[in-house]
Structure 1
Amino acid sequence: MARDDISRGQADRLRGLDEAARVAKTFEILAGEGSLWVWGDEDEILFTEDGERRTLLPVWPYAAVARLENAGEVDGEHAVRIPVDAFLTEWLPQLEEDDALIAIFPVEDRIAAKLTLAEFRARMTAALRLN
């Protein structure tokens, strides 16, 4: 069962990790919790673009860190929980049609890693096997 109850201190510690550590920790948490978090509202999920105008889907390991990154931006937007298995089987094929990349655990416009869908799938599959 996914949890949304990490403390502000825990969230700040995760946000303070360097990029490589945020990537490693993200996959560890996603495998352990069985879900990931994106940002959106009742109708849409928030995508962003990088400097090369590639479509990015930001993902976070906990709702708390997603909220810290997006707080106060638009009324009605919130962290949206997606089970990892649904993300792999349903979301990745759709994201492929959109030619999107996965932005791992952005903090203040610093993305820990931009992964292709194949890279994300491989890393997530490996993390699930270890769990």
Structure 2
Amino acid sequence: MTSDDIPRREAEQLRELDETARVARTFEAIADRGALWVWGDEGDVLFTEDARRRNLLPIWPYATVARLENEGEVDGEHAIRIPADVFLREWLPQLEEDDADIAVFPVEERNAAVLTLAEFRSRLR
């Protein structure tokens, strides 16, 4: 567990929250810790699609909840910490080029929210 992560028991409790509470907790964690988590490997990050076939980048507030959602699916993949300022400065422009939105704190393929990049930027600031 990294120094800005949480114990498994707490992560399991967070996964049980409703969508509104998971969104709120995600933005609280980003504000408190200055980072968010994505899933991938050294060369690629996980993207998903919704029913409307929009490209979505799933994000989580802590590495442990990302691991609970994804671990064991593909060898070599892991939670990747992204500092919030780097995400805003480098990742959002790339996501805009890729025409992707953000899936907040998915649990069992249910997103707490899907935010456009403008909505995410606004919430983060």
TM band (smaller chain): over 0.9
Amino acid at match of 1:3: D
8 A Cα contact 1:2 1:34, kept in partner: no
**CA displacement at 1:9 relative to structure 2:** 1.1
Q: Which residue in the other structure is 1:13 paired with? A: 13
1:44-83 matches, within 5 Å, as: 44-83=44-83
- TM-score, L = length of structure 2: 0.97
**Hey, what's the Cα distance between the residues in 1 that align with 2:108 and 2:91?**
25
**Hey, what's the Cα distance between the residues in 1 that align with 2:7 and 2:80?**
18
8 A Cα contact 1:2 1:33, kept in partner: no
Q: Which residue in the other structure is 2:24 paired with? A: 24
**Hey, what's the Cα distance between the residues in 2 that align with 1:102 and 1:112?**
10
Matched, 1:109 2:109: yes
- Per-residue CA deviation, residues 31-75 of structure 1 (Å, 9 max, x unaligned), is 100000000001001111111110000000000000000011000
**Hey, what's the Cα distance between the residues in 2 that align with 1:31 and 1:119?**
16
Q: Which residue in the other structure is 1:3 paired with? A: 4
- Per-residue CA deviation, residues 62-109 of structure 1 (Å, 9 max, x unaligned), is 000000000110000000000000000110011000110000000001
Q: Which residue in the other structure is 2:42 paired with? A: 42
**Hey, what's the Cα distance between the residues in 2 that align with 1:39 and 1:7?**
18
**CA displacement at 1:7 relative to structure 2:** 1.2
Structure 2: unaligned runs, 5 residues or longer: none
SS at match of 2:68: helix
Amino acid at match of 2:14: L
